[in-house]
């Protein structure tokens, strides 16, 4: 997908209603957690086809094919970092390890310190959707989500939690932190889906 939210030569273009951020400022809910890469895990659970939860450590994640996606990071407050080269694994490869049940089209992405966001499974399967471990060729900093964060370039930044810990699948819509405060349940950047009242 070329353009404001995706990869390719036009990845630096800004989507509607956005302006360039003077710098890549870390923005997050609560304090920066202390995460040990040796004990970090990502759990896939909820309405999955095979009963039970799948727990992945960092080595298991890094055993998946590594990819890079150059895409903007777009904050719902209208600031954008136009082009970051994210490195990591495609979320579709992660989801394939514990696929959701038929009809479980909703997901809740839970991070450390109680933050969460909602997403549709189809957004996790987007070709540019990553579980990112690097940015511009360097490991993520603690402030930017080390050791792993969700990157959904076609959605606003609040949809992609840093310090991701769990992805749960559901048959009904879920609400994360910002969704419960009136932000849009989908959050597509190209459609400027910022607020819940937009439908």
Q: What is the pLDDT of residues 99-142, one digit of tens each?
A: 999 999 999 999 998 899 999 999 999 999 999 999 999 999 99
Q: Which CATH architecture has domain 37-198?
A: Alpha-Beta Complex (3.90)
How far is 143 from 73, CA to CA, in rounded Å? 15
How far is 170 from 97, CA to CA, in rounded Å? 16
Question: Can you give the pLDDT at residue 29?
Answer: 65
Delimit the domains of the chain by residue range.
37-198
- What does DSSP say about strands 164-170 and 41-46: parallel, antiparallel, or unpaired? parallel
Residue 136 dihedral angles phi and psi, to the nearest 5°: 55, 40
- Positions of the chain with pLDDT under 70: 1-12, 28-29, 199
**Alpha-helix runs per DSSP H in 96-158:** 121-124
CA angle, 63 then 164 then 156, to 5°? 110
Structure tokens at 16: 């509607």
Query: What H or E segment, with its residue span, contains residue 110?
Result: strand 106-111
Question: Can you give the pLDDT at residue 82?
Answer: 87
Question: Can you give the pLDDT at residue 11?
Answer: 45
How far is 105 from 101, CA to CA, in rounded Å? 8
Question: What is the pTM assigned to this prediction?
Answer: 0.90
Cα-based distances in Å from 19 to 69, 78, 130, 153, 185: 21, 6, 24, 16, 23
């Amino acid at each position: 997908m070329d353009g404001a939210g995706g990869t390719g030569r036009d990845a630096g273009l800004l989507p509607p209603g956005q302006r360039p951020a003077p710098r890549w400022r870390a923005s997050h809910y609560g304090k920066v957690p202390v995460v040990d890469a040796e004990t970090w895990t990502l759990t896939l659970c909820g309405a999955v086809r095979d009963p039970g939860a799948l727990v992945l450590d960092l080595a298991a994640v890094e055993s998946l094919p590594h990819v890079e996606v150059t895409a903007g990071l777009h904050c719902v407050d209208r600031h954008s970092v136009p082009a970051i080269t994210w490195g990591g694994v495609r979320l579709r490869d992660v989801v394939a390890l514990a696929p959701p049940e038929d009809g479980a089209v909703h997901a809740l992405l839970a991070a450390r310190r109680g933050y969460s966001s909602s997403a549709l499974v189809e957004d996790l399967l987007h070709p540019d959707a990553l579980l990112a471990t690097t940015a511009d060729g360097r490991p993520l900093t603690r402030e930017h989500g080390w050791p792993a964060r969700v990157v959904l370039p076609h959605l606003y930044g609040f949809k992609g939690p840093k310090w991701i810990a769990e992805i749960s699948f559901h048959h009904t819509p879920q609400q994360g932190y910002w969704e419960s405060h009136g932000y849009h349940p989908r959050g597509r950047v190209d459609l400027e889906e910022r607020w819940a009242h937009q439908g």
